[in-house]
């Protein structure tokens, strides 16, 4: 005789592939009917065209099929009622921040213990590559990481993290995409790659705030924000929405990069964002054991001294770093330890600098 409790127990070990929580916890198990060795399971999907229903079906068929005495398993899909979906969303938002009231009252970014905004003075200095690699390094170290690509005009996080596709939206709530354990949201998931994004201040402000409040983020240790280059509206939006955010400054050693990066850091300080430190990217190129200082020497280090903030490290110019970013698998994920180490060392320093 098959026990319904055993079936429920097995179902509690199966996660919804997008929401990453057990089907039972999400109230997706509508019914369990047992007739001899025949088990019929009713599953309520969050939205009708759930793209991952096949995966849910396969998981249920395999797992329940392994129970002793089970001869045949059937999965019957239905869709949650509006009421059920509302309850589920409330619960998901609630678990982001159990202490807060309704989801609209929830402080932005409350789901993350630390919010780290990555800034640069100008484009092309490797800010997004650093953000992605640090996210990978922190994840590798066992931390739960979320990445919000706030570089709405020049988004490149999807490409560097090798993510494409459109996030599922459940009643205006966006389910982030994932790279391994890293949750990711980018404007790039919602617009064509070469379509121009022409939003101005207020709309931009709204988009960023929406990404902070309407995304079903899991509780995380770190939220990494990839800011647009320069001292634009987005930096101010972030400072307003996330007053506890810490700013990480990325620059090359070149004066034109470090001076503009200095301006961003000073603006951040004016808006009371704490500047965590400076990272010098493209610090040198090593050939036959000799370092070539292509973009000048120590620009980042000097900027840190000037700002009186920690200098967090230098990352050399390396073909492998560029290739890995282009291939959608940042170097910090790789077992190539001598290169991944540049990012792991900085990530470790950031963890130690807990405020
Ligand atoms: P930003 O976000 O500042 O505009 P990106 O992260 O997109 O800059 O980097 C610009 C280019 O430089 C990309 O092609 C990237 O792969 C490359 N890059 C970044 N850091 C390095 C590095 N340390 N070594 C080699 N190439 C790098």
Q: Looking at ligand 1, which residue's alpha carbon is closest to its atom 14?
A: 322
| Ligand 1 nearest-atom number relative to CA 281 | 23
User: Angle, to 10 degrees, between the axis of helix 53-65 and the axis of helix 4-11?
Assistant: 140
C-alpha 127 – ligand 1 centre gap (Å):
7
Residue 239's pLDDT is: 81
Q: How far is the CA of 144 from the centre of ligand 1 (A)?
A: 24
pTM of the full structure: 0.87
User: From atom 24 of ligand 1, which residue's Cα is the shortest distance away?
Assistant: 317
Which runs of consecutive H residues, i.e. helices, occur in 79-200?
Answer: 82-96, 127-140, 157-160
Tokens standing for residue 200: 């101005």
- Tell me, in angstroms, the distance from the centre of ligand 1 to residue 226's CA: 13
Atom 26, ligand 1: residue with shortest CA distance: 322
Residue 50 pLDDT: 72
Q: How far away, in angstroms, is 153 Cα from ligand 1 center?
A: 16
Atom index in ligand 1 nearest the CA of residue 282 equals 23
Straight-line distance from the first to the last Cα atom of the chain, in angstroms, rounded to the nearest whole number: 57
Q: What is the pLDDT of residue 103?
A: 47
Centre of ligand 1 to C-alpha 118, Å, is 14
> Residue 281 belongs to what H/E stretch?
strand 274-281
Instruction: Determine the Cα–Cα distance for residues 109 and 219; give it in Å rounded to an integer.
Output: 10
Q: Using the mean position of ligand 1's atoms as its centre, give its distance from the Cα of residue 317 in Å.
A: 9
Which one of 3.40.50.300, 1.10.10.60, 3.40.630.30, 3.40.640.10 gives the CATH number of domain 112-352? Answer: 3.40.50.300
Q: What is the mean pLDDT of each run of 10 residues along the chain (355 residues)?
A: 93 92 93 95 87 91 95 94 89 63 56 94 96 98 95 90 92 92 92 65 77 91 94 79 91 94 89 92 96 97 96 98 97 92 97 83
Q: What local confidence, expressed as pLDDT, does residue 232 receive? A: 74
49 CA from centroid of ligand 1 (Å):
38
Residue to probe by mutation, ligand 1, list 325, 328, 346, most atoms within 8 Å of CB: 325
The CATH number of 4-80, from 3.30.70.580, 3.40.190.10, 3.40.50.2300, 3.30.300.130, is: 3.30.300.130
Those residues whose C-beta lies under 8 Å from the C-beta of residue 351, and which sit 6 or more positions away, are 138, 141, 143
| Tokens, residue 289 | 């054991």
Q: Using alpha carbons, list the distances in angstroms from residue 319 to 113, 253, 282, 316, 326.
A: 34, 18, 11, 10, 11
Q: What angle do CA 163, 167, 172 make, to 5 degrees?
A: 155
Domain limits, the chain: 4-80, 112-352
156 CA closest ligand 1 atom index: 7
Interatomic CA distance for residues 77 and 56, integer angstroms: 10
Burial degree of 40 (CB within 10 A; 0-12, 13-18, 19+): middle
């Amino acid at each position: 005789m098959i026990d319904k409790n055993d079936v429920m127990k097995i179902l509690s070990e199966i996660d919804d592939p997008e929401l990453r929580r057990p089907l039972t916890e999400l109230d997706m198990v509508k019914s369990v009917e047992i007739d001899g060795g025949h088990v019929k399971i009713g599953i309520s999907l969050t939205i009708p065209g759930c793209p991952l229903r096949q995966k849910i079906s396969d998981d249920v068929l395999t797992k329940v099929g392994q129970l002793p005495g089970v001869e045949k398993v059937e999965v019957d899909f239905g869709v949650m009622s509006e009421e059920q979906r509302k309850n589920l969303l409330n619960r998901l938002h609630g678990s982001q921040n159990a202490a807060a009231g309704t989801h609209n009252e929830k402080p932005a970014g409350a789901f993350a213990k630390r919010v780290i905004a990555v800034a640069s003075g100008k484009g092309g200095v490797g800010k997004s590559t650093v953000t992605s690699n640090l996210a990978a390094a922190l994840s590798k170290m066992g931390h739960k990481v979320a990445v919000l690509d706030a570089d709405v005009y020049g988004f490149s996080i999807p490409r560097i993290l090798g993510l494409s596709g459109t996030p599922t939206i459940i009643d205006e709530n966006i389910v982030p995409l994932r790279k391994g354990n890293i949750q990711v949201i980018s404007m790039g998931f919602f617009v064509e790659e070469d379509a121009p994004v022409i939003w101005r201040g207020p709309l931009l402000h709204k988009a960023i705030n929406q990404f902070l409040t309407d995304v079903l983020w899991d509780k995380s240790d770190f939220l990494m924000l990839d800011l647009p280059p320069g001292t634009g509206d987005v930096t101010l939006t972030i400072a307003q929405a996330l007053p506890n955010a810490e700013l990480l400054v990325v620059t090359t050693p070149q004066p034109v990069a470090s001076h503009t990066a200095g301006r961003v850091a000073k603006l951040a300080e004016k808006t009371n964002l704490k500047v965590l430190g400076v990272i010098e990217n493209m610090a040198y190129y090593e050939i036959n054991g000799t370092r070539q200082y292509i973009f000048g020497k120590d620009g980042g280090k000097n900027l840190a001294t000037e700002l009186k903030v920690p200098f967090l490290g230098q990352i050399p110019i390396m073909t492998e770093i560029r290739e890995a970013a282009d291939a959608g698998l940042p170097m910090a994920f790789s077992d190539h330890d001598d290169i991944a180490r540049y990012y792991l060392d900085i990530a470790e320093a950031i963890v130690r600098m807990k405020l």
